[in-house]
Amino acid sequence: MQICVLGSGSSGNCTYIGTEKTRILLDLGFGKRSLRRRFEAASLSPDKVQALILTHGHSDHVAGAAAFAKERGIPIFMNKGTREEVPKLQKLDRWECFEVGQSFSIGNIQIHPFDVNHDAAQPVAFRFSSGGVSGASVTDLGELTAPVMQQLRGCDWLILESNHDEEMLKVGGYPWFLKQRLLGKKGHLSNQAISRFLTLDFDGSATHLFLAHLSRNNNLPQLAAEAASAALHNRGKGDHRSPQVHLTHQHKPTIVLEL
């Protein structure tokens, strides 16, 4: 399995997940030129993508999806809430509906959608499995509930939101209503929330951890990385191994992880 976060942040999100037989994109918030530039930087090809899957209908996750799918004649997998939230998606001839909690397959990749709390219509996250390798991408949610954390167990790789530093957000220039939204149960996960998860609830299975959807205004990459690394270090004082921590970026792809 290959995993590459082609870009992550409030201006756009897209992740490539591929095997020797199947290549898919998780969300697509970038335009055609930006997407091709990212593929080239990662030495991957957009021409081999066979399908898109969508987490929810916010523009930073779907802005480029309809045009890409229509141009290439490939299906988009989404739930009814996401389709109804985005007018452009309603005009597509090729789309596949999935139900939360019901696994489905694209080629030889098995995909399990599960509920998350976010201020969108029927938002989900996904767990992916193929050839004995499993991983999950969990962004755009305000809390890590017990059912969500259960989906993170036994994964070889994880993409987890580390959107903001709580103190930076509280003292920053955002209006109060927006601060409340981001800090709420349907908002975004903070560095501190991920730190608590890694200290108390992380099962240690994942060998690679991607920190995603970092805010440009309310976070710093070094703060996100330091919080995660400190939590893993504290947890790892026993016999636990720590995963490699990778920062994702708004303007360029991460490493191409091969497992």
Question: pTM for this structure?
Answer: 0.96
Residue 237, pLDDT score: 61
Residue 235, pLDDT score: 81
Contact 123, 56 (CB under 8 A): yes
- Computed over every residue of the chain, the mean pLDDT equals 96
Residue 240, pLDDT score: 63
Residue 242, pLDDT score: 85
Residue 236, pLDDT score: 65
Q: Which parts of the chain fold into alpha helices (H)?
A: 32-41, 59-62, 65-72, 80-85, 87-90, 146-151, 166-171, 176-183, 191-200, 221-235
Residue segments in the chain with a per-residue pLDDT below the cut of 70: 236-240
How confident is the model over 86-128, as pLDDT tens digits? 999 999 989 999 999 999 999 999 999 999 999 999 999 999 9
How confident is the model over 239-254, as pLDDT tens digits? 567 899 999 999 999 9
Residue 239, pLDDT score: 52
For the residues of 155-211, what is the DSSP string, one character each? Answer: -SEEEEE--B-HHHHHHSSS-HHHHHHHHSTTS--BHHHHHHHHHHT--S--SEEEE
C-alpha span between 19 and 34 (Å, rounded):
23
C-alpha span between 139 and 159 (Å, rounded):
7
C-alpha span between 130 and 93 (Å, rounded):
28
Which among 128, 34, 117 has a CA at the least distance from the CA of 77?
Answer: 128
Span 2-258: which CATH code? 3.60.15.10
Which among 25, 18, 36, 107 has a CA at the least distance from the CA of 62?
Answer: 25
- Domain layout of the chain by residue ranges: 2-258
